[in-house]
Homo-oligomer: A and B are copies of this chain.
Amino acid sequence: MTKQNQIEMGVLRVLTLEDPEDVSLHGRVIEQQFPHISTTSRCIPDHPEGIPSVEAEEEALPYIKGLGREMATDVDVLTISCALDPAVSTLDNEVDVPVVGAGASVAAIAIARGETVGTLGLESGTPPIVRNLLGDRLGATETVEGAETTNYLTTKEGQTEIRTAIKRLADAGCDVVAPSCTGLTTSGVLGDIGSSFEIPVVDPVLAMAAVGTTTVLPITTASEVEA
């Protein structure tokens, strides 16, 4: 940590956004929940559509690795705010700070909280990193119908669609939901209607930040907090 109790966290967005406020949205959600985290957000260039598929990921990897290497020099921990966890393993091996992805994080937090996990995506399919990590704890997968854009999720129709999808996961025997796309955080809908779901829904960006906090040890140690 750069100073007592303060964690400098890099938030790498894999979607090209023009407005700095949009770039830093996930970072602000993190700071809102974790007041001791200070975030720096940057996005890769030339990808206004993000990486909507595993195929698109391949092409974006050099951009993510390049930006990740730059950002890693100024932070205590680097997060890649995408549930595909693109370039996370490569960067984690390469740079001097821990690198954490939203995909492994949301899957991990979900299995810490429930026996049977339902994934919820905006596109069809669950990212391989999430599927692999969940293993036989993956109970069901749902896609939010009509969610071609995250803007849709903030509409009444979109929120109803999310509720319905979560209800289907609960009916399928899932006892926790792992949203497998950070667009669900971007939409604000998890915060807006989060506590009203019948089963817990993990926020993928907050899961990533929570995992990130465990990678940075406090300056003071347990022996020092003894009275």
Chain A residues packing against B (C-beta within 8 Å): 5, 21, 25, 28-29, 32-36, 98, 100, 104-105, 107-109, 111-113, 133, 135-136, 154, 185-192, 194-195, 200, 202-203, 206-207, 210-211, 213-215, 217-218, 220-227
Contacts and interface: CB of A to CB of B under 8 A. Distances in A.
A21 B226 CA distance: 7
Contacts of A111: 104, 108, 133
A185 to B, nearest CB: 6
Question: Interface on chain A toward B: helix, strand, loop, or mixed SS?
Answer: helix
- A28, A111, A225: residue with the most chain B Cβ atoms closer than 10 Å: A225
A225 B28 contact: yes
A190 B217 CA distance: 9
A20 to B, nearest CB: 9
A85 to B, nearest CB: 10
Contacts of A215: 113, 200
A135 B215 CA distance: 22
A218 B210 CA distance: 13
B32 A112 contact: no
Contact of A107 (B5, B35, B112, B185): B112
Contacts of A33: 5, 213, 218
A147 B221 CA distance: 20
A206 B190 CA distance: 25
A100 to B, nearest CB: 7
Contact of A214 (B28, B203, B227): B203
